[in-house]
Structure 1
Amino acid sequence: MPVTTPGPGPAEGAPAAGPSLRSGSLGTADIAFFVVSAAAPLTVMAGVAPLAILLGGIGAPVGYLLAGITLAVFAVGFTTMSRHVRSGGAFYAFVSRGLGRHIGIGAALLALIGYNGMEIGVYGLLGSATQDTTHALFGADVPWLPVSLAGLLLIGYGGYRSIDFGAKVLGVLLAAETGILALLAAGVLIKGGAHGLSLHSFTPGNVLVPGTAAVLAFAFAAFTGFESTVIYRREARDPARTVPRATYIAVAFLGLFYAFVVWTVIQAFGDAEVVEAAGTDPAGLFFSAITTYVGAWAADLMHVLIVTSVLASLLAFHNAINRYGLALAEEGILPKALARVHPRHGSPYVAGIAQTVLGAVVVLAFAAAGADPYGQLLLWVNTPGMLGLMALQLLAALAVPVYFRRVSHREGVLRTVVAPVVAAVLLSTAIVLVITHLDLFTGASAGVNTLLAAIVPAVFLAGLALAAWLRRRRPGIYARFASEPTEAGTGDATASQTAASRAGG
């Protein structure tokens, strides 16, 4: 059933009534496809895991398990709150209802910079990955810019179509990229690895090493976007059940799958040899392993599937951004034109067009500056995006116990206090690890890294300034920001309206 968000009067820029998102379109598996595809498992494994092995040694698989456990703890409070706060704004709505509207508006801007940064930078990866694939398979050198621009149009079209169309596409692409990694793992297990299979990767002596901190930083980055399950609640079937299930499935799958794949690659080379192999040719580590244990044809296929993995990630993030844009337009924060929904496809198509145009502007600007598509467009744009989303996770974790102190509920203290507080501590640690190892992500100078990290607090402060301006000049919009929508019949728990109005007055 369509969700109708009560909006301010015409003077405050509320969107006119019209077509709505397709409610009841997505099941648990569909939402999980969006989330796992955004993480781009094949790209993360083949492109980043060799560096984790190089820095952390054979204990690297445990880093992915620890990151997964941390985010599973976060998901406890996050999904509990999702049953009470039903806004399409996800993160910023949670933060608003817990920590106040002014913090929530700051979180809204962080969400925009975070998700846009995570998507737009990846167009550089699309260009560079396609270059590598065509060179490896055909010996041809393809310019990256036309590939990235073609990707923008393709992803724009995917976002224009219905959400169930996107879910079907992602289901196929995700099955392909995880399938090739599973094939590699099966080949290693069947042949017994280089010297037989061992579990030395999981012993304390191999985990508690100085490089583990760097591995954890890479591991947390590998889960980016998992929390976007809540963004799709307005299109989910029975969101009170499908959203939490999809969240837990995504976290569990990514944590276990990442750790398993990294462990099998270590077995492919041997405990004593894998670090040297990763240092000699990190970009070729997975291709060498699959050539040895499966065949050269599988390595060629992996090259192709890395490109499709990147496309899947782009489509998943594009859909998430569009829905944030729609929600913020409905709130009156963004232009009301962005709240238009396509009458046939049920997609936030105007927000999608705006995001595609923004992506094209950024990509063309980097190209005009002669930037490297991987080392600069990808890494410099992704980094503040990743930090922004991690900051949002921390704010959401802090918001949970505060929110549940204000409302009448029947949730347990483990879900509403213990888990979110533990998650906040762990996420704070993760943010510190990432910032202190930022040079590993960017390969840039200290000055560039400082600038990239500073973007996140600068955007948040800009959000606080916007909130103060709205409170003075647009009080109607401010007062109704992240207000509770009418969503009858979903089975969600209903929080106290009086407490909601107190949150962030």
Structure 2
Amino acid sequence: MSPTPETRLRGYLGVPGIVFLVLAAVAPLTGIIVIGGINLAVGAGGGTPVMFLLATAVFLLFAVGYAQMAKRLVNAGGFYAYVVRGTGRLPGLVGAFMALVGYNCFVAGAVGASGFFTSFVFAEVFGLALPWWVWSLTSVAAVWLLTRSGIDLSAKVLGVALVLEVAILIVLDAAILVTTGYSFEPFLPEVFLGGSLGLGLLFAANAFVGFEATGLFGEEARDPKRTIPRATYIAITFIGVFAAITTWAIVSALGARDTQETALRHLGAGDLVFVVSTEYLGEGLTNVMLLLLVVSLFAALLALHNAATRYLYALGRVGVLPRPLSYTRPKTGAPVIASTAQLVFATVVAMVHAVAGLDPVANLVAAFTGIGTLGIIVLQAIAATAIVVHFRRIKDPRLLTTFVLPLIGGAGLWAVTVLAFANFPDLAGSDSPVIALLPWLLPIAAVLAAALGYWLRSSRPRVWDSLDQDLDRVAPGPAAAEAAE
């Protein structure tokens, strides 16, 4: 008789480890270069710092309810589990499918982005010219090896990467402050209302995609019901404040009223931040920034892959997806089968684009990162609703923290969702009519999730019931884990 496969996740993550996992997925350097650059060009222009502060306020309001939910529920399914608890199994499956579409597509886009920009940077800095797909395969192999070693190692690697990419931006911010000073013009109403307020808020919110992954690692945290809320507040605050300060520095360097025109000229090349860096830091440190962009993209790929893997693992554990997806390595607790399956999907998508000779940025990155972002934004909005509903159903007396503030934050997230659907070509960075149709994948996924739910209820009632039963899983601390060995 063969032994029962191991299905328990392991990890002793504290607040710093979870923050590293989340911030690496957000990729601060990549976010400033790409998302910040687009916002400066076609969004709020010189008022971009204000948009990041507004987005921070929305997500912090949502986080109030999210933190209360995290104290009650620990599950590797993250928002999917929260939606099940708040609004029931069928909406939970819809949320799960939004997560599957969002994170798996995002990873496929990240594979392409990592390969393309690594190829560009190594050719630019070292004169080593290799096809983008070679670097994509190298990145995937490195991610697979790291994830086999457990989440704690990934957190350490991501921590180093995060410190490096943040450090170079702090150096740039300081150089602008000393040389030029920061202008307060971005905070004037005529400046931050002078661009596109809707697009400005949308692109600012895009920089927060992935913050909800704090809940995904609860089963691998030392004290999840304290760690997850703290990590969430820290991650959201850092993302918003850091992005606001850095874009404030860039706007001050360019001139608040000239920023949008200048950013538009550099939008096609995507080199606005590098141009500013060359002026204030010189060519040497700008080359360092280019190399750290490669580090940032790899870190984002690793972190996003870890998040996508946990959704596959959680749905495999309850039997919605094949149960082998929940098998883990006995020594490290890493969900190796889910990890492998997720990377195979992302790699196949990237290699199909390579074989077809398609442009990795205009096609692979635009399409899959765009739909991935949209899927995660929708997931956040659904979860926000579920959290408010849950606390009203149990008649929680803390109206401010479980109703009023989360309701305002949830309304903000639904506003961002509507903006994302309405402006999807801008969000994806492509005017292709094919890419413009991609948002329809999400309603299709919702219909498939509902059909699956009805089938499970009638044909596989044990699986259907397990959706409710497999929710709160408090991870054991180190001592308990050692005693269980």
**Structure 1 length normalisation: TM-score?**
0.90
Give the 4+ runs in structure 1 shifted more than 4 A.
Answer: 484-491
> Is 1:221 paired with 2:206?
yes
> Is 1:59 paired with 2:47?
yes
Question: For 1:358, which of 345, 367, 378 is the aligned residue?
Answer: 345
SS in structure 2 opposite 1:88? coil
Q: Which letter does structure 2 place at the counterpart of 1:75?
A: A
Cα deviation digits, residues 418-472 of structure 1 (max 9, x gap): 1222122111111121222222233434632442111111111110110000001
Stretch deviating more after TM superposition (369-378 or 32-41): 369-378
Q: Which letter does structure 1 place at the counterpart of 2:207?
A: A
- Asked if structure 2 preserves the Cα contact closer than 8 Å seen for 1:42 and 1:306, the reply is yes
For residues 27 and 264 of structure 1, the distance between their equivalents in structure 2, rounded to whole angstroms, comes to 32
For residues 228 and 291 of structure 1, the distance between their equivalents in structure 2, rounded to whole angstroms, comes to 35
For residues 94 and 450 of structure 1, the distance between their equivalents in structure 2, rounded to whole angstroms, comes to 30
Counterpart position of 1:378: 365
Deviation of residue 30 (structure 1)? 0.5
For residues 138 and 446 of structure 1, the distance between their equivalents in structure 2, rounded to whole angstroms, comes to 34
- Asked if structure 1 preserves the Cα contact closer than 8 Å seen for 2:75 and 2:472, the reply is no
For residues 446 and 118 of structure 1, the distance between their equivalents in structure 2, rounded to whole angstroms, comes to 19
> Is 1:236 paired with 2:221?
yes
Question: For 2:252, which of 267, 274, 279 is the aligned residue?
Answer: 267
Counterpart position of 2:481: none
- Asked if structure 2 preserves the Cα contact closer than 8 Å seen for 1:240 and 1:490, the reply is no
Deviation of residue 84 (structure 1)? 1.6
For residues 271 and 420 of structure 1, the distance between their equivalents in structure 2, rounded to whole angstroms, comes to 34
Cα deviation digits, residues 294-319 of structure 1 (max 9, x gap): 22111000000001100000111111
| Structure 2: runs of 5+ lacking an equivalent | 478-485
> Is 1:329 paired with 2:316?
yes
Q: Cα–Cα, structure 1 residues 44 and 486, in superposed 2: closer, same or farther, change >3 Å? A: closer
Counterpart position of 2:169: 181
Counterpart position of 2:280: 293
Deviation of residue 16 (structure 1)? 4.3
Q: Cα–Cα, structure 1 residues 200 and 424, in superposed 2: closer, same or farther, change >3 Å? A: same
Counterpart position of 2:26: 39
Cα deviation digits, residues 16-35 of structure 1 (max 9, x gap): 46362224x10001000000
Stretch deviating more after TM superposition (149-158 or 482-491): 482-491
> Is 1:166 paired with 2:154?
yes
Q: Cα–Cα, structure 1 residues 250 and 428, in superposed 2: closer, same or farther, change >3 Å? A: same
Counterpart position of 1:483: 469
Deviation of residue 364 (structure 1)? 1.3
> Is 1:250 paired with 2:238?
no
**Structure 2 length normalisation: TM-score?**
0.93
Percent of aligned positions with the same letter in both sequences? 37
Question: For 1:426, which of 407, 412, 416 is the aligned residue?
Answer: 412
Counterpart position of 2:69: 81
| Structure 1: runs of 5+ lacking an equivalent | 1-14, 492-505
Counterpart position of 2:331: 344
> Is 1:441 paired with 2:427?
yes
For residues 192 and 254 of structure 2, the distance between their equivalents in structure 1, rounded to whole angstroms, comes to 19
For residues 16 and 211 of structure 1, the distance between their equivalents in structure 2, rounded to whole angstroms, comes to 57
Deviation of residue 489 (structure 1)? 8.8
- Asked if structure 2 preserves the Cα contact closer than 8 Å seen for 1:77 and 1:420, the reply is yes
> Is 1:148 paired with 2:136?
yes
Q: Cα–Cα, structure 1 residues 291 and 466, in superposed 2: closer, same or farther, change >3 Å? A: same
Q: Which letter does structure 2 place at the counterpart of 1:333?
A: V
Question: For 2:80, which of 67, 92, 113 is the aligned residue?
Answer: 92
Question: For 1:367, which of 354, 362, 365 is the aligned residue?
Answer: 354
Q: Which structure 2 residues correspond to residues 462-477 of structure 1 after superposition, within 5 A?
A: 462-477=448-463
For residues 98 and 396 of structure 1, the distance between their equivalents in structure 2, rounded to whole angstroms, comes to 8
For residues 5 and 298 of structure 2, the distance between their equivalents in structure 1, rounded to whole angstroms, comes to 33
For residues 475 and 451 of structure 2, the distance between their equivalents in structure 1, rounded to whole angstroms, comes to 38
Q: Which letter does structure 1 place at the counterpart of 2:243?
A: Y
